[in-house]
Structure 1
Amino acid sequence: MTLALDAFLVSTGIVALAEIGDKTQLLAFMLAARYRRAGPIVFGILVATIANHAFAGALGTWLTQVLGPDLLRWVLGLGFLAMAVWILIPDRLDAEDVQVKTGMGVFATTTIAFFLAEMGDKTQVATVALAAQYDAFVAVVAGTTLGMMIANVPAVFVGDRLAHRMPVRLVHAIAAVLFAVLGVVALAGAWDA
């Protein structure tokens, strides 16, 4: 496979898994229950994710230019290993985490709330690291965005019924293993071979 296809597929898979039970998925459940208008919510999630992950991907691409290859390998390797641990810590969404003003409309509320909730979140940090590792901005941002949509669109349509049936711990364990593998590969410099 080509590097761009690898970047797209890995980014999609790892973010889709990492997003299960994440605070932004919990936000999708909350917005769906509150507004019951799937179209504007899904479109708001898409717009917020593209904006947020494009910023994160640009940061990751910039890091490849600023850091030398050896330092980048260490930063990415240790970063992916840290993500493997972080993904095992359950997220929760408090009412204070999302201050939603009424009167803005469903789309605007969703877009703003999702963009802000995603700032500094696991999937945003993963996007930075994946963009730096693969140096494939478009493929990574497209993949992480698709991963977010794979996890969040069903949450909007099925809501809480899906949340209680999802084996969140198992999904997070799988994502943690994938992050750990990426960390080991980065530290070994295997993708440069």
Structure 2
Amino acid sequence: MAALVAAALAHVGDAPATLAAILADRFRKPGLVILAAAIALAAASAIAVAAGMLLAPLITPKAKLLMLALALALQGGGALFPAKAPDRLQGWRLGAFATSLLGLFIQFFGDGIQFVVVVLAARSPVPALAGVGATLGALVAIAPAAVLGENAWHRLPLRPARLVVALAFLVGAAILAAQALALV
């Protein structure tokens, strides 16, 4: 559940959602873009879960909590700034599905939420659930962006929403850091 909520919040107004809107407009196939996004998200999340599983036995529970606080702080700090417009992939001539799959995978794999998924997987007794939650959570933002298209997506109040998300991540990070450092 934590990964689902974190990923849903992190992708509000972020570059991957914007890219999904751009590609859905370009190819006029929002359903195909959403399917490609789901596969790309699942693949990126699986890599993050694998990294979390490798990391888990190497660090203590308090260190995992502190890493989660850091991951949330970085995600919150990033949300304070306007999302950088993604490359529109105009030169890509791979077709609707391959362009969407590869372009969105690159966006997701380099996304800050991956660090959160790594740490959540490292802390979880069932690490795969962190990947499933992150995939579903990100789709909560990606699917509406693809269905709405670029113009309608940008008419939404994304900037104020990103500021609220940033505040939520930063407050959560501060609380977890205080717990990890035994300050509360």
TM-score (normalised: structure 1)? 0.81
The residue correspondences of 1:144-155 to structure 2 (distance < 5 A) are 144-155=134-145
Distance 1:80 1:117, change over 3 A: same
What is the Cα-based RMSD across aligned positions, in Å? 2.3
Match of 2:80 among 83, 88, 107: 88
Larger displacement relative to structure 2 (163-172 or 114-123): 163-172
What is aligned with 2:126? 136
Distance 1:145 1:100, change over 3 A: farther
Q: What SS is found at the alignment partner of 2:156? A: coil
Percent of aligned pairs with the same amino acid: 29
Distance 1:94 1:34, change over 3 A: same
Residues of 2 paired with 1:86 and 1:34: CA distance? 28
Match of 1:101 among 92, 96, 101: 92
Distance 1:63 1:186, change over 3 A: farther
Q: Aligned partner of 1:168: which letter?
A: L
Identify unmatched segments of 5+ residues in structure 2.
none
Residues of 2 paired with 1:73 and 1:172: CA distance? 24
Match of 1:53 among 20, 45, 49: 45
Identify unmatched segments of 5+ residues in structure 1.
1-7
Distance 1:180 1:132, change over 3 A: farther
The alpha-carbon deviation at position 73 of structure 1 amounts to: 2.8
The alpha-carbon deviation at position 173 of structure 1 amounts to: 2.5
Residues of 2 paired with 1:36 and 1:28: CA distance? 11
Residues of 2 paired with 1:92 and 1:36: CA distance? 23
- Alignment length, in residue pairs? 180
What is aligned with 1:156? 146
What is aligned with 1:120? 110
What is aligned with 2:4? 12
What is aligned with 1:3? none
Residues of 1 paired with 2:126 and 2:91: CA distance? 35
The alpha-carbon deviation at position 137 of structure 1 amounts to: 1.7
**Do the aligned partners of 1:16 and 1:148 also contact (CA within 8 Å) in 2?**
yes
